[in-house]
Amino acid sequence: MQPPAPPRKPIELDSTLLDKYTGDYISQFVKEKLTIYSERGKIYCEVLGDKYELFLESESQFFGAFKGIGNIKGSFNEDEKGTVKNLVFDFGISKIDFEKIK
């Protein structure tokens, strides 16, 4: 039997770094839009009328839990100029790419 994974420890980022992740994202796979926003030094995802806190593990990696789905992890990805181009949610059995549109 495997030992339990160590607990995840979220980090805090400067609001300037959080702001570069904020905006609207859309997935061509699930045809759904979501909004990432920051509030009081925390980052959130709003989708289908529900709000979820995302916990940053590094400058670009995050984890959280979504109602009806469970634990998720993911990453924000930048282009060569440092502009956020998308985020990827990893649901364990599948990954879904959301392109930043605004």
pLDDT tens per residue across span 29-77: 888 899 999 998 899 999 888 999 999 999 899 998 888 888 889 999 9
Query: Domain-by-domain residue ranges, the chain?
Result: 17-100
Please check whether residue 88 is in contact with residue 99, taking contact to mean a CB–CB distance below 8 angstroms.
Answer: no
CB 28 within 8 A of CB 36: no
Q: Which fold is adopted by the domain 17-100?
A: Lipocalin (2.40.128)
Residues in the chain, total: 102
Record the pTM.
0.85
